[in-house]
Amino acid sequence: MAVTVVGSVALDNVETPFKKMNNILGGSASFFSLSSSFLTDVKIIGVIGDDFNQTYLDIFKDKSIDITGLKTEKGTTFHWEGRYGYDLSDPETLETDLGVFSSFKPVVPHSFKNDTLFLANIDPDIQFDVLSQMNSPKLIALDTMNFWIERKREKLIKVIEKSDIFIINESEARLLTGESSIFLAAKAIHNFGAKILILKRGAYGATMFLDDHFFIVPAYPLEDIKDPTGAGDSFAGGFLGYIDNTGDMSFENLKKALVFGNIMASFAVEDFSVDRLLAIKMDEIKDRFKKFRDMTYFGELSL
C-alpha cells in the first residue's frame, strides 16, 4: 500500500492582500505527499537544487515520506512567485523559474514501479516517460493545466488513455474537449480512456464522473482562507490516499474519497505553504469530515 507522486518540489513566494511569504515550501509533490501521508505510505519522484533548505527535507522525513526518488542537482530549485487578490481565486503569476526542473528526467526506483501513481501537473512528455517505466501500477491518476492542453494536447491524450483517473478544472475540461457542456466534456474524456473524471471547482467544490454516475460535493465553508496555492494537490493527495488505504473502487467509496480530498484541501488553505497540513491531527480530520456530512445530509422527503 503506497502512492508515488511525480511532480515539483518548489520554493514559492506568495503574496496576498494580507501577507507576503518568501521562499516557502511549495510544489505539487509537496502538498500531495503531505496530504496523502495521513492515510498511506508516500514516495516522491522529483528534483531540487542545491539551494534547497535541509529543514524542508526534514519535513518529508518526519512524515515518513520516501524521498529516495527526490534527486538533488547543482543549480536552483523550481521557484514560483504569485499574487492573489482579495477574492483569493486565480493568482497572478509574477515569476516562474524552472531551475533544475527544466532538465528533469525522472528515474522510477524499482520499489516504486507497482505503486498507485499520481502524475502531477508537469509536461506530458515527462508523464508519459514515467508511465513507460512502471510495471503494473495499482492505479494511475493524472493532473494537467491549460498550458499543456494548448501546447501538447496529443501527447496529453496519450497519457489520459493510460490513466484511470483524470483530475482537472472545468475550464480545462472545456478547452481539452471543445465542449461547452461539462457533461458532454466528461463523456469525451471518458472516450479518451480515463474511467473516472474529477472536476475541481475551486470555492464551489468538485464533481466526479464515473460511467453514467456523477457526484457533486461542495467546498467546506471556511471563515478564513490564507493561501489557496496547494488546494488542488492537497485535494488529490487526500482523494488518492483514501482510495489506496481502503482498496475499494466502488462508487460509494469513491464518494467518501472525494469528500476526504475536499476536507484535506480545506485544511491546506487555512495557512501559508504546508503549515496547516503539518499542524493538523487525524482526529481533526475525522471531526471535519463528520461536520461536513452533517451539513450536507438531508435524508428522504417526509411526504
The answer to whether residue 303 sits within a structural domain is: no
The answer to whether residue 44 sits within a structural domain is: yes
Query: What total of structural domains would you count in the chain?
Result: 1
Of 128, 122, 69, 79, residue with least CA distance to 100: 79
Position 50 scores a pLDDT of 97
Position 1 scores a pLDDT of 86
The answer to whether residue 83 sits within a structural domain is: yes
**pLDDT below 70 — which residues of the chain?**
none
The per-residue DSSP string of 16-61 comes to: -SS-EEEEEEESHHHHHHHHHTTTSEEEEEEEEETT--HHHHHHHH
Tens-digit pLDDT profile for residues 22-53: 999 999 999 999 999 999 999 999 999 999 99
Q: What is the CATH number of the domain that holds 287?
A: 3.40.1190.20
SS3 293: helix
The answer to whether residue 264 sits within a structural domain is: yes
The answer to whether residue 302 sits within a structural domain is: no
The answer to whether residue 301 sits within a structural domain is: no
Range of the domain at 214: 2-296
The answer to whether residue 182 sits within a structural domain is: yes
Position 151 scores a pLDDT of 96
The answer to whether residue 159 sits within a structural domain is: yes
User: pLDDT averaged over the chain?
Assistant: 97
